Structure formats: structure tokens, C-alpha cells
């Protein structure tokens, strides 16, 4: 243990080796570059109105500048990169998730209010009332459009327009039209030729000298494209088609008409505790939520019990000195741990398949039964527990073997002298001695299985579904997979609700890990 000279405030030592001095300058330049890059991100996010991200990078850049700028913080330079990684990718997402849980962030309330407003103002409509009939006139190899105002409608007094030759239109560029008194020279094309050119015409945008754009509105007409909404000074929008006024509602995050109709998309606004009260009061959410909550505890608890039982039993057998071939048994027994989980889970998915899976084939041949592993809730849950025990017992086996080995041999000898049998040894010596160091690890295993997302996602995807749930919820879903489905698989993508459930799991995990730290008495 030492305190660096720099932290003590001792003067800088000037290296005699030029190479070292250059490295120092290179490092300083790198730091400055990184600080400038984060500052650029801060400004860019700020300009887009995303203050959370702007703040994140401001904190990151400022701490980078301070830690690498002050010599006294020399020791902190070593830990800064790792802490920054954890800060940005573990702690920030956590805080951000808690923040989202108080908002209505979802697929319909995704963009900021300015972006939503801009999107509305970008919307256009084709003014059918001001449509023009069109005809194509061909003169030699030049084809032009001739537009003639239909009925009373016209475009600021212009009734007839003639386009430049179609051949001059470049892809994606509007084609200019000019006011005219009469049809252009050449012969008018019949409807059959117009149909032949339809694709070409549909992709065409015409533009008048004053900038109004026209697009094809039917087989015989072109109509001008006009902006649909107009911004009013008080922040509301006017629908130019029918004159309705849309006012922004900051409580729901939508533009609403006078009779209360919402227009999507909206923007995220704070909804207070709404998401949390919804979980506990909305019957369509509360029912499935409670069911999943209970099942998550049952699943994690039973997994720990089963894996521990199997692991401990095997460990006791493998500790038996008179048994031969222990090394081979041990290697074979930890195989499930060595195979990547995403592969072994999928192997089980195939093996449990109701139609061609090997497990049902064997059961069919032996007992004449063929269980519906994926459609019956109870069977699906048993399948999860079987698979998870297979996946998880090697961890317990390794733990138990290590712990049993650390028990002093003479305890057993003393017990043998006093006439103790295997059962006495087990309950009076082995179990009491390994349970204490094992407890924090069991809690960690519980927490891991509580959040065992990969198993559910790859094996059952939560199915079979709970009937009558308004969010996607399955009888085998754990809280994490439920959260994931609400956020990423549901059509509504209700991020706010998902974040509220995630926040509740956070609290549980904090509780578990504090308990864990207490029990394991970590020495720092």
C-alpha cells in the first residue's frame, strides 16, 4: 500500500528520457481530445433537447477533465476508466429507467414535443377541391403535361399550366410547370398511353413558379399539395382542412381537438405514480403481475433447492475417498456448466418438442404418454425447473466440493472414534460447517435465477399465455421476461410500465445484495 508522490503533492519529476516525455504529451493530447469529444456530445444532445443525455456526458467530460487534470488525483486516474464504464452502462441506465417509470414513454409517446410538432407541420394533404385535369401532349419525342383547372377551383388565378418535357425530369427532382393560355402543340395521348406511363407520372412532382407542388391525384387529375397544419402563436395548431384547433395537452402528452380526441404521435410527459398504481389497481395488469411475481419467487427458490440438493449429494459421493474414477465423474458431471447455456437450452427446446422431441418418443414407447410440455402451464413450469436444475447443479457441485474439502479431516475421525455414522456426520459436521459460507452464494444464485431471462426467452418465451391479460403475459414468464415483453414485444411498447416493474425488481435486488454483503462480511 502506498500513496503516490503526485497525491502527496510532491513536485513533478522530469524524465531524462525524451521518449517518456513524448508519451506524457501524447497522453495529455488524448485527454484533451476525449474531453472535447464529450463536450461536442453535450452540445449536440442539448441542441436536440435531450437533457438527460446531455447531462450524462457533461458529468463524464467534467470528471474526466478533473481526474486527469489534477495531479493530486493520480490514483483515481487508474480507476477512472472502469468507473466511467460502470457509470455510463450500469448506473446511468438504472437511474434513467427509474426516471422513465414516472413517464408515459411508449411507442406512441416517443419523440420530444418539438419533434412531434415538426412532424405535424410537415404533414401535407392533397387539396382535391383545387385539382387540375391533365392531359399528355406529345410533340415529336417530347411529352408534356397540360393541366386545366377543374370546376371552380384554381391556384391563385392560374387556370392552365404546361409542364416542361417529361424527359427533362430528373429522378427525385420536381418538374417545373408554367402558366399557359392554351394546350401545348402536339397531339393529346389517349388514356391507354397514360396508363402505360402511370408509374412514371405517380413518381412525378410538379412545381409552379410560386413554389406550390402538385402530385398525381387520380388517373385524370393532379392536385396541389398543401401543408395540413398551421402553427398558432399560442402553441396550438390549426387543421387547415376543416379549421379545427389542436391544443397541446401537457398532462397526457398529446395534441387534442376541442372534443377531446387525441392525435398520435404524442410526446413523453411525467405521469407521476400512474404506472405504479396501474400495476396494483388495473385488474387486467394486477392479476397477471401477481401470478408472475409469485411464480418468479417459486422458480428461483425451487431452483436453488433442487440444484443444491443434487449438487450436494453428488459432492458428498465424490468426496468418498474409497471411490475410484472420481476425476472422470467430475469432468462429466460439470459438462452442463461448460456447454454454453444458449446452446444447451435450445437443445432442450428441441428434445421437449411435442411432435418429434426425443423425450416424448421415449415416454410414448415406455408408458404410452405424450405430455404437452409447451401448452400445459404446470408441465411447462416443471420443464423449466428440470432444465434449470440440469443447467445449474454443476455450480453447486463445485461449491460444495470446495467447501467440504476445507472441513478438517480430524473432525470426522473424532466422530468415528465416538461411533458416529454417516448420517450423524452429515447433520452434525458437514451441513453446519458448509451452510454458513454457502449462504451468501445461495442468495446470489437466488438473485441470478430470479432474473434468469435467457432461460425463459430461449425455452418457452413465457408461453402458454395468461388469458385476459392486457399486456403480453405468460404462465412461465418471470418478472424480467415480462418486463422485456412489455417493452419490446408488445405492439404498444409501454416503456413506462416496463420501467416501473423494473424499478420494483431493482429494489428487490438491492435488498438481496445488501443482505448478501452483510452475510459474507466482505473485507475491502
Of residues 361 through 420, those in contact with other proteins by CB under 8 A are: 361, 390, 392, 395-396, 398-399, 402
CB of 340 to other proteins, least distance (A): 5
Contacts of residue 292, defined as CB under 8 A and 6 or more positions apart, other chains included, come to: 473, 477, 478, 479, 482
Kindly tell me which of 171 and 343 has the beta carbon lying closer to other proteins: 343
Shorter beta-carbon distance to other proteins: residue 447 or 473: 447
51 makes contact with other proteins (CB under 8 A): no
Residue whose CB is less far from other proteins, 160 or 513: 513
d(CA 133, CA 147): 6
Min separation Cβ 111 and other proteins, Å: 11
C-beta pairs of 430-434 under 8 Å, 24+ apart in sequence? 430/316, 430/404, 433/403, 433/407, 434/400, 434/403, 434/404, 434/407
Stretch that binds other proteins, among 62-70, 155-163, 284-292, 447-455 (CB under 8 A): 447-455
> What secondary structure, in 3-state letters, does 391-455 show?
HHHHHHHHHHHHHHHCCCHHHHHHHHHCCCCHHHHHHHHHHHHHHHHHHHHHHHHHHHHHCCHHH
Q: Does 306 bind other proteins (CB under 8 A)?
A: no
What is the C-alpha radius of gyration for the chain, rounded to an integer number of angstroms?
36
Minimum distance, C-beta of residue 289 to other proteins, in the bound complex (Å): 16
Provide the 8-state DSSP code for 10: P
CB atoms within 10 A of CB 142: 15
* Smallest separation (angstroms) from other proteins to the CB of 75: 4
Q: Cell 392554351 sits at which residue?
A: 182
Name the grid cell of 383.
420443464
Q: Which of 183, 385, 411, 444 binds other proteins (CB under 8 A)?
A: 444
Binding status of residue 30 toward other proteins by CB under 8 A: no
Determine the Cα–Cα distance for residues 308 and 435; give it in Å rounded to an integer.
Answer: 11
**What Å distances lie between residue 323 and 328, 354, 403, 423, 429, CA to CA?**
12, 40, 19, 19, 21
Interaction of residue 45 with other proteins, rule CB under 8 A: yes
Residue of 498, 496, 503 whose CA lies nearest to 108: 496
* Contacting range for other proteins; rule: CB under 8 A; set: 128-136, 168-176, 197-205, 343-351: 343-351
3-state secondary structure of 183: coil
Examine residue 111 and tell whether it contacts other proteins (CB under 8 A): no
A 10 A CB-CB count for 70 gives 13
Find the binder of other proteins among 405, 431, 488, 492 (CB under 8 A). Answer: 488
In the complex, minimum distance from the CB of residue 268 to other proteins, in angstroms, rounded to a whole number: 11
CA nearest to 364, candidates 518, 356, 473: 356
Q: Please tell me whether residue 5 adopts helix, strand or coil conformation.
A: helix
Q: Is 388 helix (H, G, I), strand (E, B) or coil?
A: helix
Q: Measured from the CB atom, is 161 or 383 closer to other proteins?
A: 383
Cα–Cα distance between 303 and 34 in angstroms, integer? 46
502 near other proteins, judged by CB under 8 A: yes
Closest separation in Å from C-beta 273 to other proteins: 18
Question: Which of 18, 19, 25, 82 lies at the binding interface for other proteins (CB under 8 A)?
Answer: 82
**Closer to other proteins at the Cβ: 281 or 322?**
322
Which CB, 11 or 211, lies closer to other proteins?
11
Q: Is 302 near other proteins (CB under 8 A)? A: no
If binding is defined by CB under 8 A, does position 467 make contact with other proteins?
no
Stretch that binds other proteins, among 194-202, 217-225, 285-293, 322-330 (CB under 8 A): 322-330
Residue found under cell 387556370: 159
512 binds other proteins (CB under 8 A): yes
Task: Determine the interface stretch with other proteins among 150-158, 173-181, 279-287, 327-335 (rule: CB under 8 A).
Answer: 327-335
Query: x/- site string to other proteins, residues 262 to 291, per CB under 8 A?
Result: ------------------------------
How many C-beta atoms surround the C-beta of residue 102 within 10 A?
18
- Decide if residue 509 touches other proteins (CB under 8 A): yes
Q: Is 25 in the site for other proteins (CB under 8 A)?
A: no
Q: According to CB under 8 A, which one of 125, 276, 297, 337 is a site residue for other proteins? A: 337
* SS3 state of residue 124: strand
Is position 62 an interface residue for other proteins (rule: CB under 8 A)? no
User: In the set 44, 66, 273, 309, which binds other proteins (CB under 8 A)?
Assistant: 44
Long-range contacts of 413-419 (CB under 8 A, 24+ apart): none
Give the shortest CB-254-to-other proteins separation in angstroms: 21
Binding status of residue 130 toward other proteins by CB under 8 A = no
Q: 163 forms bridges with which residues in the sheet?
A: 177
Amino acid at each position: 500500500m502506498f500513496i503516490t508522490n503526485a497525491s502527496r503533492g510532491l513536485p513533478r519529476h522530469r524524465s531524462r528520457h525524451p521518449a517518456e516525455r513524448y508519451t506524457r504529451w501524447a497522453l495529455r493530447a488524448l485527454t484533451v481530445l476525449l474531453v472535447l469529444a464529450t463536450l461536442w456530445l453535450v452540445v449536440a444532445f442539448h441542441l436536440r433537447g435531450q437533457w438527460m443525455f446531455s447531462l450524462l456526458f457533461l458529468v463524464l467530460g467534467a470528471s474526466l477533465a478533473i481526474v486527469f487534470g489534477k495531479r493530486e488525483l493520480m490514483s483515481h486516474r487508474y480507476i477512472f476508466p472502469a468507473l466511467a464504464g460502470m457509470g455510463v452502462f450500469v448506473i446511468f441506465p438504472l437511474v434513467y429507467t427509474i426516471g422513465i417509470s414516472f413517464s408515459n414513454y411508449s411507442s406512441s409517446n416517443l419523440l420530444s414535443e418539438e419533434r412531434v410538432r415538426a412532424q405535424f407541420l410537415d404533414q401535407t394533404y392533397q387539396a382535391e377541391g383545387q385539382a387540375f385535369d391533365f392531359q399528355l401532349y406529345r410533340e415529336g419525342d417530347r411529352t408534356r403535361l397540360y393541366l386545366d383547372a377543374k370546376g371552380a377551383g384554381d391556384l391563385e388565378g392560374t387556370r392552365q399550366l404546361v409542364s416542361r418535357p417529361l424527359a427533362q425530369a430528373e429522378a427525385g427532382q420536381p418538374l417545373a410547370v408554367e402558366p399557359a393560355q392554351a394546350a401545348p402543340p402536339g397531339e393529346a395521348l389517349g388514356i391507354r398511353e397514360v396508363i402505360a406511363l402511370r408509374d412514371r407520372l405517380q413518381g412525378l412532382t410538379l412545381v409552379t413558379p410560386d413554389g406550390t407542388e402538385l402530385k398525381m391525384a387520380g388517373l385524370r387529375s393532379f392536385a396541389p399539395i398543401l401543408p395540413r397544419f398551421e402553427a398558432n402563436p399560442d402553441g396550438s395548431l390549426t387543421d387547415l382542412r376543416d379549421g379545427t384547433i389542436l391544443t397541446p395537452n401537457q398532462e397526457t402528452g398529446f395534441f387534442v381537438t376541442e372534443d377531446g380526441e387525441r392525435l398520435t404521435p404524442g410526446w413523453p410527459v411525467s405521469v407521476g405514480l400512474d404506472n405504479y398504481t396501474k400495476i396494483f389497481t388495473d385488474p387486467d395488469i394486477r392479476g397477471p403481475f401477481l401470478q408472475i411475481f409469485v411464480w418468479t419467487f417459486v422458480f428461483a427458490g425451487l431452483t436453488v433447492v433442487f440444484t443444491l440438493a443434487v449438487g450436494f449429494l453428488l459432492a458428498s459421493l465424490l468426496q468418498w475417498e474409497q471411490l475410484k474414477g472420481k476425476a472422470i465423474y467430475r469432468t462429466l458431471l460439470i459438462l452442463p456448466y461448460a456447454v454454453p447455456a444458449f446452446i444447451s437450452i435450445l437443445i432442450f427446446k428441441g428434445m421437449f418438442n411435442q411432435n418429434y422431441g426425443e423425450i416424448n418418443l421415449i415416454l410414448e414407447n415406455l408408458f404410452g404418454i405424450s405430455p404437452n410440455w409447451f401448452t400445459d402451464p404446470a408441465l411447462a413450469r416443471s420443464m423449466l425447473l428440470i432444465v434449470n436444475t440440469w443447467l445449474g447443479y454443476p455450480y453447486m457441485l463445485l461449491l460444495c466440493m470446495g467447501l467440504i474439502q476445507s472441513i478438517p479431516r480430524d473432525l470426522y475421525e473424532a466422530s468415528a472414534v465416538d461411533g458416529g455414522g454417516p448420517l450423524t456426520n452429515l447433520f452434525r459436521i458437514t451441513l453446519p460447517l458448509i451452510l454458513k459460507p454457502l449462504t451468501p452464494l445461495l442468495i446470489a444464485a437466488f438473485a441470478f435465477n430470479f432474473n434468469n431471462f435467457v432461460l425463459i426467452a430461449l425455452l418457452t418465451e413465457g408461453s402458454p399465455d395468461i388469458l385476459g391479460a392486457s399486456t403480453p403475459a405468460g404462465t412461465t414468464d418471470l418478472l424480467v421476461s415480462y418486463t422485456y415483453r412489455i417493452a419490446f414485444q408488445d405492439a404498444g411498447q409501454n416503456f413506462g410500465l416496463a420501467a416501473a416493474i423494473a424499478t420494483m425488481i431493482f429494489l428487490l435486488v438491492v435488498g438481496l445484495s445488501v443482505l448478501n454483503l452483510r452475510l459474507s462480511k466482505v473485507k475491502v
